[in-house]
Structure formats: structure tokens, C-alpha cells
Amino acid sequence: MIPIDLIQTTAETLMDKAAIEIPQDYLDGLKAAAATENGDLSSFVLQAMLENYEAAKEDRRAMCGDTGTPRWYVKMGNDTRIEGGPVALEAALRRATANRTNGVPLRPNRVHPLWRTDHDNNVGIGAPEIEYGYEPSPSGEWIDLITVHKGGLFGTDYRMLFPSDGIEGIKRFYLDSLVAFGKRGLACQPAIIGIGLGGCKDTCMVLGKRAACLRTVGDRNSDPKIAALEEELKELGNSIGMGAMGFVGKNMVIDAHVEVGYCHTGGMQMSVHAFCLSSRRAVARIYADGRVEHRTDPDWFTPYQRRETVEWQPEMEAAE
């Protein structure tokens, strides 16, 4: 059984790490972008951000004044039991969010949408979001806690495409979105762009956000054709003449990730999400024996998460 106290203390450490330490894969991507950038202002922004990450780590302060909206992704094995059960788990994650919003400190961004009520701790109705996943392996009792402090409040969009819009339609909406994000300052670039294709409207949004936040720079979809599309979209996004913060340049996209879900045959839902210049994520795996392993790769999209169907026998065949 996973001790609940260990869940809370680990969650608090993760809150600190996400806010302060930029993940190495994003940092490497940004350094590669800085090495090729020749737009004056874009180059200036990239250099300033690289210095800013260093200063944040040294001073143990948040890397951006807007610390985004903390959320949790929780994954566990089939055998996992949690002390106090799932209700205790959710309370621990909410308490860790409140404690470290005060402690780091983070900006208490979360308010009631109508009354603007503010508990000063990033906790409220439906906040922080907690999403779940399960895995058949490894066996034994373990739980992955992943926190993402998502910024880029306006850097998200959705469109219902027709199947006949095809790949060209996908590229068009992608470019429309990036140009709007860049021109209107809707998310600080360069960003990791997540694209959700298919599902229903709600799952399409979930897929796109997970594609942006739960995959590392350089990671490619296990479907080779989708992987090729990701490469193409990355290149396309970096060829529209905009760079860091929408200034003239050639590095707007640090990486592009696509996740798909089966959809209604009549449509092709698409969402676009920007995981901004402060791509904040931190991960830890906790075992029942008390071990805690920290990492920055959520490793969310395993073959099990992308499983296509289920073992079954069509009833008509069974009747024969």
C-alpha cells in the first residue's frame, strides 16, 4: 500500500520542481533554437530566457511571474492500493497544491468564474484538475504523480473539420492558430504545440493538452505516419516568419506532438494547445516500500494508453 503522507510530501516537492526547474528536454530544445535564431528580438528573448531559467534555479524562485494553473495527472498499476483510498489521494494533491502555492510562492491564479472568489491557494471547485490513467505493467504497487503548471492561457483553439479537409485542412487550422497566438500574444513562444485529432469535442481537447504537456521534446508518436506529420508540423510552424514572443524569427515551435482518438465517421475534430516558454512539468514514481524516483518525462503515452481495440469475438461469428 502506498503511504498517504509520502504522496503528499512528494507532491509538494513536485510543485516546487515544476515551478522552478525547466525540464532538460525543453531546455535542450530552446538552446538548439537559440543557436539557429537570427531575428534580433527573438534572439534577445531566447538568451534572456536561458539566463532566467538559471536565475530561477539558483534563487529557488518561480521561473515566470505567471505560474499558470497547476494540474495533476495520476497513473498507477493494476495492483496499486493507496492508504485512505482515492478520496485521501485527492485531498493530498489538493493540500499539496495549496501548501506550495503559499510556500514557493506561486501566483494564486484560480478564482470562481463569476464571483472571482479567491482562496489564495489555487484550489477551488474543480481545481486543480486531477486526471487518471492505469497500466498493466510493471506489476506491483506504484503510483506516478505528474504535475503540470500550464501557462499560455489563451493559446488553445478548437475546430470541427470534415474528413474531406484531410491533412491540408489540419495544416491550415494549425497555421491559423499559430499566427493568431503569435500576433495577439496569446501564449509565449517558442512553445511545445500539442494537437488533438478525433475523439469527441471534450476528448479532442484532452488529447491535445496531453500531447502538449505529457510528451518530451524530440519524442515521436509510435505511428510512423503520425510521427512524420509531427516533423512536418514542427517545420511548418517554424517557417511562418515568427519566432520567440511572436517577434520576427524562425523558432516558434520547439516541438509538435499529435495524439489521436477514434471519432464519429462524419467529422475530424482538431484542437491546438501551446505549452509555453515556461513548460513546467515534474514527475515522480512512488513505490509501496517508500522509494521515490523523480524524473521529467511523464511517459504517459504507452502502448496501453494508445490501445486500439479489445480482444473479442463478434456475436454473429460466435453463433456459427
Residues interacting with ligand SF4, by CB under 6 A? 64, 66, 68, 151-152, 187-188, 276-278
Choose between 89 and 188: whose C-beta lies nearer to ligand SF4: 188
- Work out how close the CB of 280 gets to ligand SF4 at its nearest, in angstroms, rounded to a whole number: 8
- Work out how close the CB of 47 gets to ligand SF4 at its nearest, in angstroms, rounded to a whole number: 15
- Work out how close the CB of 148 gets to ligand SF4 at its nearest, in angstroms, rounded to a whole number: 12
Asked whether the beta carbons of 303 and 23 are under 8 A apart, the reply is no
Residues 32, 29: Cα–Cα separation, whole Å: 5
Asked whether the beta carbons of 209 and 273 are under 8 A apart, the reply is yes
Write out the three cell numbers for 38. Answer: 537570427
- Work out how close the CB of 18 gets to ligand SF4 at its nearest, in angstroms, rounded to a whole number: 12
Choose between 8 and 43: whose C-beta lies nearer to ligand SF4: 43
- Work out how close the CB of 64 gets to ligand SF4 at its nearest, in angstroms, rounded to a whole number: 3
Segments in 116-238 forming alpha helices (H):
166-183, 201-213, 224-237
Q: Cα–Cα–Cα angle for 54, 56, 59, nearest 5°?
A: 105
For residue 52, what are the CA distances in angstroms to 30, 45, 254, 296? 13, 10, 18, 19
